[in-house]
A and B are shown apart, each in its own frame.
Chain A
Amino acid sequence: MFDLSLSLIEGNLFLKYNHHHCCLDYHRFTITMPNTEPEEATRENRESNDGSFECNICLDTAKDAVVSMCGHLFCWPCLYQWLETKPQRQVCPVCKALISRDKVTPIYGRGSSRRDPRDTLPPRPPGQRTEPEPHPSTSFPGFGFGDGGFHMSFGIGAFPFGYFSSTIFNFSDNRPAPSPSNPDYLEDALLSKMFFFVAMILLFYLLVA
């Protein structure tokens, strides 16, 4: 009738009665444990060592950590699962602020890149980084907003100074340089060389004439 059992879980002993009485007085029980430190010290230790970097969902040290805009830390797989569970109401599990896949920042610790990201499904959203602005004071609004550098119409009519002025404006553009693999970029590079060549000939012609 009287079923008493002891179990060892993560280094701590738990006493279990027949399930009517299993909610026994833990307080006294934990104090009698041989390895129990004084309450305050234990609490402080726990908080300073683990508490700061524990995932708010699995309560373990965050793996593939991401942090929300509201500052709450999660494992990416844990948070992903939460977002999947409630697709219509995506809120931070801790403070219920709006949260979404694009609004979390991954945290890269030292040496964490060794891990194959494909092992952690789904992949974490990438970090967002903005290029610093090269010359904020010389930026010239109104030019260089096309998607492939300057346009052909700049150079032809305005002989040869038009070309230079457009080039200057284009250089002061504060967008990041287009990717070299982009076909527009290659085309522009070719055009640019051609115009430069034509301009040089004309300039030479002017000087000679």
Chain B
Amino acid sequence: MSSTGENRSSNSTRDSKANISSSRLRKELMDLVMGRDKGISACPVDDTFFKWIATIDGPNDTVYENLKFKLSLKFTTQYPYVPPNIKFISPCYHPNIDSSGNICLDILKDKWTASYDVRSVLLSIQSLLGEPNLDDPLDPEAAANWKKSDFKKIMLMHHAKGEKKSTQ
């Protein structure tokens, strides 16, 4: 009696987990569409809703102004209890982003909570662009160059090089 109860409960937990992730991702897409946030957009790339592509506009009054960055978001059935895997597809020369596009941001790791969503994460990444955390750099060279007056020049050079590489 009790063992069947446990089976049923574990099955229903597994089902509800997958249901929660996909129905939540659907709602998030709706909210993104209705919310009309400036400078961020995201969209699933397949019917499962577990892979998304997002774009972030470089924030105004920063060196990244007028640049567009493309990111990939990968979700699991554990979402929203575990954070999505987010990477820059576009090259981004930044103290907290490495050359493969990995992002060092606390809310994508240990500070993640289940009420963060695609929208809040994209906005956080957008603000990270303008306000890097220089104490914990993922790209020490970029961190060392951040305060230099010609950072924008160096960054644009990297950007152009990366774009070229990605189109080849």
CA distance A43 to B114 in the complex (A): 24
* A22 proximal to B (CB < 8 A): yes
**Chain A CB within 8 A of B80 CB:** yes
Question: Is B127 positioned at the interface, with any CB of A under 8 Å from its CB?
Answer: no
Q: Considering the complex, which residues of chain B in the window 37-72 have a beta carbon less than 8 Å from any beta carbon of chain A?
A: 41-45, 47, 53-55, 70
* Cβ-based interface call for A167 (8 A): no
Are A27 and B42 interface neighbours, CB within 8 A?
Answer: no
Q: Is the CB of B45 within 8 A of A59?
A: no
In the bound assembly, the distance between CA atoms of A96 and B54 in angstroms comes to 27
**Other-chain residue from A12, A27, A78 in contact with B114 (beta carbon distance below 8 A):** A78
Is A175's CB within 8 Å of the partner chain B?
no
Q: Please tell me if A166 contacts chain B, counting CB pairs below 8 Å.
A: no
Max chain B Cβ within 10 angstroms of own Cβ: one of A23, A57, A92 = A23
Cβ of A42: which chain B residues have Cβ within 8 Å of it?
A: 34
**A43 surroundings in chain B (CB, below 8 A):** 34
Query: Which secondary structure dominates chain A's binding surface?
Result: mixed
A43 CB to nearest B CB, Å: 8
Residues of A close to B80: CB separation below 8 A: 57
- The docked-state distance in angstroms from the alpha carbon of A26 to that of B35 is 10
In the complex, A93 Cα to B111 Cα: how many Å? 10
Chain A residue at minimum C-beta to C-beta distance from B82 = A85
Query: Assuming A19-B53, A78-B114, A93-B114, is B33 touching A26 (CB within 8 A)?
Result: yes
Q: Is A9's CB within 8 Å of the partner chain B?
A: yes
Q: A121 touching B13 by the CB < 8 A rule?
A: yes
Q: Given A10-B30, A30-B33, A60-B23: A82 and B114 within 8 A (CB)?
A: yes
Q: How far is the CB of A116 from chain B (nearest CB, A)?
A: 12
Interface magnitude class on chain A: 35 or more
- Chain A residue numbers with a CB within 8 Å of B53 are 19, 22-23
Residues of B in contact with A (beta carbons under 8 Å apart) = 5, 9, 12-13, 16-17, 20, 23-24, 26-34, 36, 41-45, 47, 53-55, 70, 78, 80-82, 113-117
Q: Give the 10 A-B residue pairs with the shortest CB-CB distance, closest first.
A: A93-B115, A93-B113, A19-B45, A93-B114, A85-B81, A22-B43, A121-B9, A23-B41, A59-B27, A56-B115
Q: Known pairs A22-B53, A23-B43. 12 more at Cβ < 8 A?
A: A7-B47, A9-B29, A12-B30, A19-B45, A26-B36, A30-B36, A43-B34, A58-B20, A81-B81, A85-B78, A91-B113, A94-B115
Binding site for B on A (CB under 8 A): 7, 9-10, 12, 14, 16, 19, 22-27, 30, 39, 42-43, 46, 56-60, 77-78, 81-82, 85, 91-94, 96, 118, 121
What are 13 contact pairs spanning A and B, CB under 8 A? A9-B30, A12-B33, A19-B53, A22-B53, A23-B42, A23-B55, A24-B41, A30-B36, A43-B34, A56-B114, A58-B23, A93-B114, A94-B113
